[in-house]
Amino acid sequence: MQKLRHTINVIFVISLAVLLIAGIVFVAGQALALATGQGGWLAVLNAAVKGPACIAASVCAIAGFLLSYKTPANQNNPQQEARTP
Q: Report the share of the chain in percent with pLDDT over 90.
A: 72
| Cα end-to-end distance, the chain, whole Å | 42
pLDDT in tens, 28-68: 999 999 999 998 999 999 999 999 999 999 999 999 999 98
Q: What angle do CA 65, 54, 47 make, to 5 degrees?
A: 170
- How confident is the model at residue 83, as a pLDDT? 75
pLDDT exceeds cutoff 60 at 75: no
The half-sphere exposure of 38 on its side-chain side, counting CA atoms within 13 A, is 13
Domain residue extents for the chain: 2-68
- Does the pTM surpass 0.85? The reply is no
Q: How far is the C-alpha of 57 from the C-alpha of 21, rounded, in Å?
A: 11
